[in-house]
Structure 1
């Protein structure tokens, strides 16, 4: 009999939307976006144990999320069904990323499941296949599967790898949740930004980047507006996704750490490094 694979522990990194433009609205209600995803080194960690009985089990409970509704479980079952494998897995998570914070935690967890189980079950599926499976789980899953900072269009699924600067970030969570559907349904949301090319976005740089959701989120959520205004006193601040998290870039870890320590007196804050390649890629040797 072949040896049982050792338990596998892998990172599920966060992302920031360095910019987010909304350039239109489709007939199905989804919005056409242009965004720059940057991977950062703030991560959840998932551990996988092989099961021979085909059972998919998440052994870590998560408040407010039923077991079978969790993206971790849904991703594992989707891969199991698509591949036809009879193997299963017990999965646990060491959670660091705030739920609903705009950092892509759930989508990143799903991507790490797809890539981790692809290896544990020895399926040999390509990243392109895994990204296609992941898209049905969420528009942000493919960027985490492919594991590169990227220019994204469509609903965020049309990806082109991009090389971004890699500053140190202060990331703040103001301690509230944002309803993404409510933001995208708000009649005052900007939906008519002029489309630009990836080259224009990269050439224009930070000075031209913005988040079209930010004004609407600030109006609806005064605590986020307060945190954005506070962080802007130290460096240009921006919302990631629809929030609730926000961030600012700094040239040195020391400068970021100083601001994060001040922020932690009022909110939850982290220092994270910007990356162009996901630590998940590195962990899997991709």
Structure 2
């Protein structure tokens, strides 16, 4: 295989509960992950010299800190592979947006280079490597909508509704560490079973991070208020992006047309199978 082009889809947290804080500082979560048919894209070409070259770089992020480069180098180290890659990134997802862009890019890199370098690692092994890069990487590696617990790494595949979503970015980055470090963050939501979460459905789902993000980031609060007056609105992850679940594409497009100029937004459809895995299937 001389080259490979793959998507790195966005995710939404359709529900996010924080049930506790561990001794190591990480938080225990319960969440529902779902993919969108919108995201970044990566193009891979193999190199024989072992070099990993990414273009373009991300503003303010050194290549050595970029999750794409780190994923590629980790795969080399763990397998002894002497091949390298030229990687071209088309970045569509905002940084600090709560859409999992960096984690998705890392997962696409792991799966894409595993295929390009003909390593043949099982998904479980790739997910283990992904967890070393970030708690959200495994769900992108496994590629199915999931109920997640722990720090987000214990995954159970689920089938969620697949509505249209309007996803709004208020134009700022949210620092995840600031949200999880805030004294006022809810950390004692009683755990529930997956069955109970799914039985309640979208009308009862909420994000425990939302009140804290509202207080720390007024721009997010304003965007939530604007969207919430038009449709039920929720924060994804720690933000900054917010979303509304809509039954029809036409409704989403009407809301998009009314979007204030200070925001950016996109429309996407919920997906239970990751577009990454759908694309990999076409390359088989």
1:115 aligned residue: 111
CA distance in 1, matches of 2:254, 2:205: 25
Match of 1:277 among 254, 258, 273: 273
In the aligned structure 2, how far is the partner of 1:264 from the partner of 1:162? 35
Tell whether the 8 Å contact from 2:107 to 2:140 is kept in structure 1 after alignment: yes
Aligned to 1:203: 199
Q: Secondary structure at the match of 1:136?
A: helix
| Alignment partner of 2:176 out of 164, 174, 180 | 180
**Corresponding residue for residue 227 of structure 1:** 223
* CA deviations over 1:84-119 (Å, ceiling 9, x no partner): 111110101011000110000000000000000000
Shift of 1:234: 1.3
**Distance in 2 separating the partners of 1:187 and 1:260:** 35
Q: Which runs of 5+ in 1 are unaligned?
A: none
Partners of 2:190 and 2:6 lie apart in 1 by 39
Matched residues in 2 for 1:177 and 1:59: separation? 22
What is the Cα deviation at residue 68 of structure 1? 1.1
Residues 139 and 146 in structure 2, CA contact (< 8 A), matched pair in contact too: yes
TM-score for the superposition, normalised by structure 1? 0.97
- Structure 1 position 282, deviation (Å): 0.8
Q: Deviations over 1:130-182 (max 9, x none)?
A: 00000000000000000011000000000000100000000000001111111
Contact 2:171 2:262 in 1 (8 A): no
Equivalent residue, structure 1, for 2:80: 84
Runs of 4+ in structure 1 deviating by more than 3 angstroms, as ranges, are: none
The number of aligned residues is: 282
Please list every run of 5 or more consecutive structure 2 residues that lacks an aligned counterpart in the other structure. none
The root-mean-square deviation of aligned C-alpha atoms, in Å, is 0.9
User: d(CA) in 2 for partners of 1:263 and 1:37?
Assistant: 26
Residue number among 245, 249, 252 corresponding to 1:253 in the alignment: 249
Partner of 1:98: 94
Alignment pair present for 1:216 and 2:221 = no
